Homo-oligomer: A and B are copies of this chain.
Amino acid sequence: MEPTLDVVGVGNAIVDVISTVDDYFIVAHGLNKGAMTLIDADRATSLYASMPPGIEASGGSAANTMAGLASLGSSAGYLGKVRDDQLGEVFVHDLRAAGVGFDVAAGQEGPPTARCLIQVTPDAERTMNTFLGISAFLGPDDIDEELVASAAITYCEGYLWDMAVAKLAIRGAMEVARNAGRTVSLTLSDAFCVDRHRDEWLDLLSDNVDLVFANESEICSLFETDDFDLAADRIADLVDISALTRSEAGSVIVANGERIVVPAASVSRVVDATGAGDLYASGFLHGMARGEDLARCAEMGSLAAAEIISHIGARPQVALSTLVG
């Protein structure tokens, strides 16, 4: 059967709380600059109390990617878990208002909607501290198998691997997609996340993934090397298509025994790196869904990423369709 949806994303449904801080704040609070660190409810409370005033904006890696896809003109759906609380309401509103299909029932008990406390430093780097809340309890029952089977591409967030039940949900979604003859995509999400799940992911990539997204530190972490070229060679043995991002150095696509190097799109001022990888994936997947060649897919990824890093927050502020031409 022909797919009726371009992409479905599976991920942690998170509201971002974004503050601008100086580097001293990062050091003083023992934060892992540039990384995503999981924190519990108590730490979330104490860290929040010490943060400057912030703004709240919907986030979540795969959700950002789906919002970007919708903004580009692709059809996108999302699977993730919120509570029936105010932040959950914000998350659902923003995703639907962005044009992404979202129908997972909000949890009526358990922990609150996930939040990510993000510190943006003057160098535009973002440091993320995530309290997963109920998002970690996305379970196999929350996976709408018909929706997954209807999507040309199923895009899963590596972050979800940190919780056993969510991992089951992802594995289930990947299986449904494979059985329906669809493309399965995974983003490695975070170098520390890679470190926690290396062996399992090497198997998963080899057996179940057609398209992988990773930045330089993630792909190097996967193969425990400092040598990007070596890591790029290694991933080529496991996965059909790898889209490897290198910040201002652009991206490298490894596929069909070839490497395609695509420059980053120019940005007049980088304000907040949050969402750069997520939106790169939006552009790339949009190209794939349209049958573009890989170089053009990467170019679309670069354009979408350039928009997102030029402002605070990880959701597009303009219709991305106007940028990719």
A residues with a Cβ closer than 8 A to B are 17, 20, 48-49, 51-58, 67, 85-87, 90, 93-95, 97-98, 112-113, 313, 315, 317
Q: How many copies does the complex hold?
A: 2
From A52, which residue of chain B is reached at the shortest CB distance?
B97
From A51, which residue of chain B is reached at the shortest CB distance?
B97
Q: Which residues of B contact A317 (CB under 8 A)?
A: 20
Contact present for A67 and B53 (CB under 8 Å): yes
CB of A22, distance to nearest CB on chain B (Å): 12
Contact present for B57 and A56 (CB under 8 Å): yes
CA distance A51 to B98 in the complex (A): 10
CB of A307, distance to nearest CB on chain B (Å): 14
Contact present for A90 and B56 (CB under 8 Å): yes
8 Å CB contact of A87 from B55, B58, B86: B86
Q: Which residues of B contact A52 (CB under 8 A)?
A: 97-98
Contact present for A93 and B48 (CB under 8 Å): yes
Give 11 new A-B contacts, CB below 8 A, not counting A20-B317, A54-B94: A51-B93, A51-B97, A53-B67, A53-B93, A53-B95, A54-B90, A55-B55, A55-B56, A56-B56, A86-B87, A86-B112
Q: Which residues of B contact A93 (CB under 8 A)?
A: 48-49, 51, 53-54
8 Å CB contact of A313 from B55, B94, B98: B55
Q: Which residues of B contact A98 (CB under 8 A)?
A: 52-53
From A55, which residue of chain B is reached at the shortest CB distance?
B57
CB of A191, distance to nearest CB on chain B (Å): 28
CB of A110, distance to nearest CB on chain B (Å): 15
CA distance A54 to B98 in the complex (A): 10
From A318, which residue of chain B is reached at the shortest CB distance?
B20
Q: Which residues of B contact A20 (CB under 8 A)?
A: 317
Q: Which residues of B contact A49 (CB under 8 A)?
A: 93
CA distance A136 to B95 in the complex (A): 30
Q: Which residues of B contact A56 (CB under 8 A)?
A: 55-57, 90
From A54, which residue of chain B is reached at the shortest CB distance?
B94
Contact present for A53 and B58 (CB under 8 Å): yes
Contact present for A53 and B85 (CB under 8 Å): no
CA distance A54 to B91 in the complex (A): 10
CA distance A315 to B317 in the complex (A): 20
